[in-house]
Amino acid sequence: MKIGDIEVLPIRDGVGVEAAADILSRPGVDDPWACHHEHLEADGSLRLPFGGFCVRTGDRTVLVDAGMGPYDDGKYTGGDMLSSLAAEGIAPADVTDVVFTHLHADHIGWATRDGVAVFPEATYRVHQADWEHFVTGEKAPPGTVGKLSPLGNRLELFDADFTVAPGLDARHVPGHTPGSTVYVLSSGGRRALLLGDVVHSVVQFSERDWEVVWDVDPAAASAVRNRIADESADTDDLLVGAHFPDMRFGRIIAADGNRRFVAV
């Protein structure tokens, strides 16, 4: 897809399967998915693609999120990111920057492998609040620490919104995690937002009060999600979440106080 002069490509790594009602629902409602069965598999499960997005802008090749990595526990499966990049003619050494929307395991899997950076020429960037929460904090998951610590001086932390590359800006939106970051593409009068896990399912655009079990701060996450959706409604802005079906972009349409997501 082109956003003005910027090219953005979905880079698939794998897929996870969850019981939808166990991870995403309206508090206090017994069957929250009753009106949204079209988004589910026949058994009531929700398929969650894993991967990232490759942004080509100017002389930069930026990977936004690094997928699940080589992993298969029967529920979550990853491992296809490097072959997906190769299919687009992109080798690991071609990637100039790796930026993270946040540091959950399914977004950092290809950051390193066997203690070595997978993208040898890249600078890696993440918000300082997530680094402190997931890597240096007292309750940091050991797997995350082991995965990211080898980055060493390839890592740069940021604590304010900034421009990553021409037409690609980082915008801090805490809630899902302390350092959650949305990446905004803008060129030629067009705009697109890479939402990470601000939104897990397109249903959350129409259901304002649904919560996902992985939000560190559910109230803040809901506020961020609804603010972005309301700002984008009935505009030409394109949006995509990390786990949207087929990792497809779409627009938000609003009518009579309701919102819905329409894939493009």
Q: Is the Cβ–Cβ distance between 190 and 4 less than 8 Å? A: yes
- DSSP, collapsed to helix, strand or coil, labels residue 24 as strand
Q: Give the tens place of pLDDT for each residue, 138-148.
A: 889 999 999 99
- pLDDT, position 116: 96
Per-residue HEC secondary structure of 176-233 comes to CCCCCEEEEEEECCEEEEECCCCCCCCHHHHCCCCEECCCCCHHHHHHHHHHHHHHHC
Q: Give the pLDDT band of residue 28 (cuts 50, 70, 90).
A: confident
Q: Give the tens place of pLDDT for each residue, 237-262.
A: 999 999 999 999 999 999 888 999 99
Q: Where are the domains of the chain?
A: 2-8+52-66+89-263
Q: Give the number of other Cβ atoms within 10 Å of residue 213's Cβ.
A: 11
Determine the distance from the C-alpha atom of residue 77 to the mean position of all C-alpha atoms in its chain, rounded to a whole number: 17
Q: Which residue has the higher pLDDT, 25 or 89?
A: 89
Count CA atoms closer than 13 A to 181's CA, side-chain side. Answer: 30
The dihedral over CA atoms of 42, 43, 45, 51, expressed in degrees to the nearest 10, equals -60
The second-level CATH assignment, the architecture, of 2-8+52-66+89-263 is: 4-Layer Sandwich (3.60)
Mean pLDDT of the chain: 96
| pLDDT(30) > 80 | no
- pTM beyond 0.85: the answer is yes
| pLDDT(177) > 90 | yes
Count CA atoms closer than 13 A to 164's CA, side-chain side. Answer: 34
